[in-house]
Amino acid sequence: MSDIDNLVRAIDLAPHAPDQGPGARDLRAAIMATPPPRNRLSWLSGGKALGLGRARWPVLISAVTAVAVAVAIGVGLPSGGPATEYANAAVSITKADDYFSVTITDPTADHRRFEEAFRAVGLNVTVKVIPAAPDEVGTLIGPIVPKGFTWHGSIGVQSVTPCASAFCGKVWMPADFPDRVVFGVGRPAKPGEPYAGNPAYDPSGEESLDGYTVRGKTVAAVRTEVHRRGLKVGYRLLWPHPDGGFFDQTVPADRIKDGWIVNGFREHSSDTVDLYVIPGPGAGPAPDPLKVAAPQWYDDLTD
């Protein structure tokens, strides 16, 4: 009996399979119409059973797609509670004892495909596909807990290497966490499009612009170097926060003096660098942090 025959028999005999409607009959007919491969292929190795990676065998495209559909139906919509694993064309998620293993296959997929997978394993997750710097494309960004994380356990993400897909990682998150969590999935930013995944000011962050140290230099000196590299410059005033630490305020160039000191930078887009500048003489009083806070990628949850 061929692998395709076994697949069809498994679908027909699945103990919890619903009555076959037109869609199921069409799927079965498509599988039966696919000619068997000349060489034996193990669909259950290396994630290929879930349709991950590029298909190298054109004759098997229909069969591999059918396997992905069958697996998603089989484990993604259980009758007895959340699934322990789920996969679609964008992402696969497997629940372990104390974390979830996440593999992103298509970082440009619709955000609903990612949410579908997280929710299938019982997590209340909102996903935004956001423009990202090249080193963050395909990665899982976050997590953000809008109401704050006040639950047992911990929450976080750790990437795992080596990885044959766009991103492989572990998500630490209590399976019974009741509140919504927001993740971003980095997609390639268009030329000049602002990167959404960059965090707020980090005092331990970047000091060197491809070998050129910016921290401690004047605005005039750093701006000259940035322009020499063919990049534009944006500015953020770095103010002490009343509760400790710092907050930044985006300002136009005419608010900045050449002699003020740069304390760091971040990549704003493919053609622009933002400089964090320490306010100097004439900068005026510090503003209200809440009034100058810039909208973040996780604030807009309308789509």
CA distance 86 to 71: 8
Mean pLDDT of 158-164: 92
Mean pLDDT of 134-146: 89
* Contact criterion met (CB below 8 Å) for 180 and 168: no
What single-letter DSSP state applies at residue 83? -
Q: What is the predicted pLDDT for the residue at 202?
A: 61
Predicted confidence band at 34 (pLDDT cuts at 50, 70, 90)? very low
Is the pLDDT score of 86 beyond 80?
Answer: yes
Range scoring the smallest mean pLDDT among 36-50, 66-80, 84-98, 138-152:
36-50
CA distance 227 to 233: 8
CA distance 209 to 275: 11
Cα 255 → chain centroid: 35
Structure tokens at 288: 């209200």
What single-letter DSSP state applies at residue 218? B
CA distance 284 to 288: 12
Is the pLDDT score of 25 beyond 70?
Answer: no
pTM: 0.64
> How long is the chain?
303
Spell 158-194 as b/e; 16+ CB within 10 A means b. Answer: eeeeeeebbbbbbbebeeebeeebbbbbbbebeeeeb
CA distance 272 to 232: 4
**Angstrom distances, CA of residue 134 to CA of 226, 268, 270:** 19, 12, 9
Neighbours of 278 (CB within 10 A): 16
Range scoring the smallest mean pLDDT among 3-17, 61-75, 180-194:
61-75
What residues does each domain of the chain span? 1-78, 82-197, 208-286
Range scoring the smallest mean pLDDT among 12-21, 148-157, 159-168, 179-188:
12-21
To the nearest whole number, what is the mean pLDDT of the chain?
Answer: 76
CA distance 230 to 218: 19
- Beta-ladder partners of 136: none
Predicted confidence band at 297 (pLDDT cuts at 50, 70, 90)? confident
CA distance 272 to 194: 9
Phi, psi of 293 (to 5 degrees): -65, 130
Q: What is the dihedral of CA 61, 67, 68, 71, to 10 degrees?
A: 180
Neighbours of 234 (CB within 10 A): 18
Residue that has been written with the tokens 């797609």 in this structure: 65
Residues 6+ apart with CB under 8 A from 258: 218, 219, 220, 223
Mean pLDDT of 141-169: 90
Predicted confidence band at 175 (pLDDT cuts at 50, 70, 90)? confident
Mean pLDDT of 253-280: 95
Is the pLDDT score of 6 beyond 90?
Answer: no
Residues 6+ apart with CB under 8 A from 290: none
